[in-house]
Amino acid sequence: MSIALISHPDCLLHDMGESHPEQAARLQVIFEELVRAGLMDGLKPYLAPLATREQLLRAHSPDYVDAIFAASPKTGLVSLDPDTFMNSHSLTAALRAAGAAILAVRLVISGEVNSAFCNVRPPGHHAERAKAMGFCFFNNVAVAVMHALDHFKLKRIAIIDFDVHHGNGTENIFRQDERVLYCSSFQHPFYPFDGADTVSPHILNIPLPAGADGKVFREKIVEYWLPRIALFEPEMIFFSAGFDAYLFDEMSDLLLTEDDYAWVTAEIRKLADTYAHGRMVSVLEGGYELEGLGRCVAAHIRALGATTDK
């Protein structure tokens, strides 16, 4: 069992202002916890390449990609929405984040590794085909899923998005694409105030009320996701791995724990082993409680199959 850990120092240089919760320290606490937990020896490190324009265009419109490149400032910050800003390094970081997910697809499909975790930022799941929002520029998971579908000719891919916010961008991009089974759990009503009314055979949204804990989360997943994923028989499974539904994350009011993240990962891994040759690609989305974030990611990576030296 080998797991790739993909990142790049450029992802640390994207900075949206001192008090912004989506900050470089998020990636650093994850690395520190993976070291502390003894997981690093079981992971194969890779540097993320830059996603190419051609790769981005599978999930985003040409005008949008051009606009993001044009918006990149030489100095200072430019605002793309009330929460989303670019500094002079943001474009490169966003290209590395999408490039990490693209590399993960190649490594996993070629069999070089069994699965991959991308410790990258900016996150991606709010980025729509032609819109940046919610800290996101390019939809890293959507770009990588399209790479697996178009370049590697896979026919069925499942995306598991357990970030506390609905992945409106991913839903927007795959709304009409039945090759993708998109499973998103999220607090509702809550930003981006979307997804609770979606009716689609291949979009399985689970809105959860404020205060919902792991018991509710697990019951809904057992009822709505696991049987439908098994019927779909995905050839590869992606995680939009956001950890902002964590009990102590002040961004939200859900009450998930490290054990809940380990549980959902282990359940999905069983399906991946049965239908998808164990092929899983996980990409970091949200998660803002710095102390817990590292432990949640470590629990997730352990459940992907990583071994520990302790």
22 sits near Zn ion (criterion: CB under 5 A): no
Residues 99-137 as b/e (b if ≥16 CB within 10 A, e otherwise) read: bbbbbbbbbbbeeebbbbbbbbbbbbbbbbeebbbbbbb
Q: What's the token pair of residue 179? A: 């090759």
For Zn ion, the nearest residue by Cβ is 286
Nearest approach in angstroms of CB 165 to Zn ion is 4
244 sits near Zn ion (criterion: CB under 5 A): yes
20-28, 104-112, 223-231, 281-289 -> range binding Zn ion (CB under 5 A): 281-289
Q: Which of 242, 278, 294, 305 binds Zn ion (CB under 5 A)?
A: 242
Rg over CA atoms, the chain: 17
Q: Which of 165, 166, 300, 302 binds Zn ion (CB under 5 A)?
A: 165
In angstroms, rounded to a whole number, what is the distance separating the alpha carbons of residues 141 and 81? 21
In angstroms, rounded to a whole number, what is the distance separating the alpha carbons of residues 150 and 192? 29
27-35, 105-113, 164-172, 255-263 -> range binding Zn ion (CB under 5 A): 164-172
3-state DSSP call for residue 115? Answer: strand
Of 124 and 234, which CB lies nearer to Zn ion in the complex structure?
Answer: 124
187-195, 207-215, 243-251, 267-275 -> range binding Zn ion (CB under 5 A): 243-251
Q: What's the token pair of residue 217? A: 């989360």
Q: Where are the alpha helices (DSSP H) in the chain?
A: 25-36, 53-56, 62-71, 90-110, 140-146, 168-174, 214-220, 226-232, 258-275, 290-304
Q: Which of 163, 235, 249, 267 binds Zn ion (CB under 5 A)?
A: 163
Of 90 and 168, which CB lies nearer to Zn ion in the complex structure?
Answer: 168
Question: Rounded to an integer, what is the distance from CA 231 to the centroid of its chain?
Answer: 23
Of 214 and 286, which CB lies nearer to Zn ion in the complex structure?
Answer: 286
42 sits near Zn ion (criterion: CB under 5 A): no
121 sits near Zn ion (criterion: CB under 5 A): no
Of 235 and 249, which CB lies nearer to Zn ion in the complex structure?
Answer: 249
Query: For residue 70, how many other CB atoms are within 10 A of its CB?
Result: 8
Interface residue list for Zn ion (CB under 5 A): 163, 165, 242, 244, 286
